[in-house]
Structure 1
Amino acid sequence: MTELAALARVHTAGDGSPVEQLTCHPRLPLVAGTAGGSRLVRIWDFSGGRLRELAHVDLGPEPAEHPTGHWPGQRLPLAWHPEEALLYVTDGTGLTRWTPDGPSKVEPSPAPYGHLAFSPDGDHLWASPSADDRETSDVLDLATGSTGTARGWDTGVAAHPSGALLATLVSDQGATYCLFARPAAGGMRPLRHALILDVDGYGTPLFSADGRHLAIRGNAYFDSVDVFAFPSLRRILSVSLREPGESEEWPQQNLAFGAAPGVLWIGSPTGTLLELDVATREAVEHELLAGVALSALTSTATGHLLAARADGELVLLSAHPAPAATAAAGDDVAAFLAATEDVPDDGDLEDHLVITDGSGTWSQGDLATLTEAAATDPTWLQLRAAVNRVLAG
C-alpha cells in the first residue's frame, strides 16, 4: 500500500463551482482548471510542494449563438505547450493564448474547435474538427499562422513517455477506435494497429509514467475503466464503476497513473481514492479526502496527484512510491512501430486498420466476411455481423 499525504490545499476563488477539468503542464509545475459550464480558466503553480493561484483567463459572457458542435456549459478545450509556460484555450469561436505575461487578445478561430493539442515539438497546434468536415482536423503553424489539414480525431491526444508515439480516439455511436500515431510536421500519422471499443463517450487515453500501460475511461452508457498492456495491447483489466440505471455519478476525470509502476488511482463520488494494482487487481481505499465528492483527479509530471473536490478545494498529494527500475519506454515503442506501418494518406481510415479489443484481433478482410457473432461478443462485432448478413441478402 502507498503512503498518501496531503502536501498543500487551496480553495478556488470565484462562484464556488467545483473544478471538473484539470490539465497539468507536461514538464512545469503548472496546472489549468475549469469548472463545468464556466468560461473562466484558472492556473495554479504547485512548485515546492505548495499550491497558489497564479493567474486566470476569463473568456467573458456566453456568446449569443454557439457555433455548431458547441453548447452552453461545454468544457473548454485546453492545451499546454510541451516545454514553455504557454496555454491555449478555445470556446469554439476564438483562440486565447496565455503566458506568464498575461492572456493575449482573442484570435478568430479558423473553425469551431472542440479539441486542442500541441505537437510534441511545440511548433504546431492541432485542432479538431476542421471547418471542412468532422473527418479532418487542422494543423496550425504557430510561426507562420498558416493552417493545414490532417486526418480527424475527436478527443484529446495522449503522448507516450518516450515522445515517439501518440494515442487519440475516433468515435461514432457504434464503436470507437483508439488510434496510435507517429508525430509528424503535418500532424499525426496514424498507424494500422489500433484498439476498438464499444460505442462512444470515452475520454482521452492515459499512458502510465513508464509507458507500459494505457487506460481508457468511458463510455456513453456506463462508467467503465479499461487498462491495456503496451506494446502488446492485451486487455488486462476491465471494470464498471457504475452500471446502467444506477444514479451515483462518478467524476468524468477520475483516473491518474502515479509514479509507481502498474498503479492506477481512481477518484470516487465519496471522496475516497482507490489505489488499484492493474496486474493483481488488488485495490486499497484511501480515506484521506473522504466526506466530500471528488470532481477531478490527475497526476503531475513528478508523479504527485492533484485532486479537486466538490467544495471547491484543490489538494496536492504526495504518494511516496517504492523505488522501481525505469522501463525501457523507447524500446517498447520501437517494437510497436516495427510490427505495424503507417495508414496511407488517401482512402478511408477504416479500410486500412488491423484492430484488437485486447483479446481478439481482426483485419478488415476478416470483418468483411463476418456474418455470425455470439451474444457474448462485443456489441460492435454483433452489429458488424448483422449488417453483413443484411448485405448478403
Structure 2
Amino acid sequence: MTELAVLDRLSADSQHPVEQLVRHPRLPLVAGTAAKSRLVRVWDCGGGRLRELAPVDLGPAREPDPSEWWRSETAPPVAWHPERPLLVVADGDTLTRWTPDGPSAPEPASAAYLHLAFSPDGRTLWAKPSGGSSDALDLATGAAVPAPYWDTGVAVHPSGELVATLVSDQSATFCLFARPGAEPPAAMRQLRHALVLAADGYGTPLFSADGRHLAVRGNAYFDSLDVFTFPSLRRVLTRTLAEDDAQRWPDENLAWDVRPGVLWIGTPTGSLLELDVETQEIVEHPSPAGVAISALTATASGELLVAHADGALALLSVGPATPAPEAADDVAVFLAGTEEVPPTGELEEHLVYTDGSGSWESEDPDAD
C-alpha cells in the first residue's frame, strides 16, 4: 500500500473553498478557483512546500446578461502555458495574464469565454464562448480565427501530439480527438474516431502520465467514472460514485499517479481512494479530520495537492520519488487508424463511434 505523507499545509478561504485545482504541466505551479468567487489563487508547490503567490483578483462581479445568469455561479476559466509560468484568466470579454510578477491589466477579448486551453506548443490559445463555435487566438499578436466547436475543456496527451475534448448535448456527449494545428493561430484538426458517452455534463477528460489511459468524470445525472485504454479506447472501468445530491462527490476529484494505471479519487468523507484501473483494486486512505475533499490534482513533480471543504490545502507525498514515465508512442497507432474530419458537412456524419466495447459509423449502434 502506498504511504501518504503530509509535506505541507495551508489555510485558504473557508467561505469559498477551492473547487478546481489546475496544475502547470511542467512547473510547480497550481491555480485554484471556486464558483461564486472572483479570486484566482496561485500556489508554488516546489521543494515540498506550499507558498501562495499573488492572486488574480477580478474585482466586483459584473452584471451578467439576463440570458446568461449562470455566469455568476461559475468559476473563472483559466489555462496554463505549457512551458512558461503564464496563466491566462477569462472574465467576461477580457483576458488577464498572470506571471510570477503578478497579474497584468485586463486585455479586451472578442467574446466572453467559458473555457480556455493552450495548444501544446503554447503559441495558440483555444477559447470557447457560449455560442456554437470556438476561437483560436495567436498569443503573440492577438489575431483570432474561427475554429471547430468544442466544450468543457481540453486534455493534452503527454506526447503533445494529440488532444481530447468534448462536444455535448442533452442526449449524448462525444469525446473528440484532434491534432494541434501547425501555425498560430492554429485550430484543432478534429479526427473521425470518437468516444460516445451516455449523457451530458461530463468533466474534462484526463490522460494518464504515460498516455495509456483516459479517465472521464461525469455526468449531469449522477456521479460516474469511466476509464478507457488508449489508443484502443477499450473501456476498462465504469463506476457509479453516487446517484443523489445527498452524496454528491466533488467534480474535480481525479488525479493520475506517475505509476502506470494508478488513479487517485477524492471523496466526500475526506479520504483518498487509490485505484488500480486494470485490477480494479481500491485502497482507501482515510482522512483523520474527515473534512470533505473539494478538489484534487497531481503536481508536475508527482505529489498530490488536496483542497478541502473547510478551505485548507495539503500537499502530499505518495512515497519514494518516481521518475515521470515516458509518454507511450501510441499516438502514431491511433492516427494510423483514423483521418481528419472534412471541413464541411455535419460533424456527426463523419464520425466513427466507439462506446468502449464496439464501433459503428452512425449514431445508431445497430447500423451496418
**TM-score, with normalisation over the residues of structure 1?**
0.88
1:51 aligned onto 2:53 = no
Letter in 2 for 1:47: G
Summarize deviations over 1:159-201 as a string: whole Å, max 9, x none.
1111111000000001000001111132111111110001100
Q: Distance in 2 between matches of 1:368 and 1:285?
A: 38
Tell me the equivalent position of 1:64: 63
Matched-pair contact (CA < 8 Å) for 2:203–2:217: yes
Q: Distance in 2 between matches of 1:88 and 1:36?
A: 17
1:1-393 matches, within 5 Å, as: 1-12=1-12, 14=13, 16-66=15-65, 69=68, 70-129=70-129, 133-134=131-132, 136-184=133-181, 185=183, 186-243=186-243, 245=244, 247-288=246-287, 290-320=289-319, 326=325, 329=328, 331-364=329-362, 367=364, 370=367
Q: Distance in 1 between matches of 2:107 and 2:300?
A: 30
Q: Distance in 1 between matches of 2:289 and 2:157?
A: 32
SS of residue in 2 equivalent to 1:247 = helix
The count of residues paired between Structure 1 and Structure 2 equals 364
Q: Distance in 1 between matches of 2:225 and 2:79?
A: 24
SS of residue in 1 equivalent to 2:270 = coil
Summarize deviations over 1:34-82 as a string: whole Å, max 9, x none.
1221000011101110001011011011112348545212111100001
SS of residue in 1 equivalent to 2:152 = coil
Q: Distance in 2 between matches of 1:327 and 1:44?
A: 26
Change (3 A) 1:103 1:234: same
Q: Distance in 1 between matches of 2:335 and 2:367?
A: 28
Greater mean alpha carbon deviation, residues 167-176 or residues 3-12:
3-12
Matched-pair contact (CA < 8 Å) for 1:77–1:91: yes
Q: Distance in 2 between matches of 1:289 and 1:237?
A: 29
Q: Share of identical aligned residues, percent?
A: 65
Matched-pair contact (CA < 8 Å) for 1:67–1:92: no
Matched-pair contact (CA < 8 Å) for 2:213–2:227: yes
Matched-pair contact (CA < 8 Å) for 1:261–1:324: no
5+ long unaligned stretches in structure 2: none
SS of residue in 2 equivalent to 1:187 = coil
Summarize deviations over 1:91-112 as a string: whole Å, max 9, x none.
2231111112221111222111
Q: Distance in 2 between matches of 1:58 and 1:325?
A: 34
Matched-pair contact (CA < 8 Å) for 1:67–1:93: no
Summarize deviations over 1:122-160 as a string: whole Å, max 9, x none.
111110037xx41x2101112222110110110111111
Q: Distance in 1 between matches of 2:326 and 2:81?
A: 25
SS of residue in 1 equivalent to 2:188 = strand
Q: Distance in 2 between matches of 1:241 and 1:313?
A: 24
Matched-pair contact (CA < 8 Å) for 1:255–1:267: yes
Aligned-residue offset at 1:324: 8.4
5+ long unaligned stretches in structure 1: 372-393
Which structure has the larger Rg? 1
**TM-score, with normalisation over the residues of structure 2?**
0.94
Aligned-residue offset at 1:15: 5.9
SS of residue in 1 equivalent to 2:221 = coil
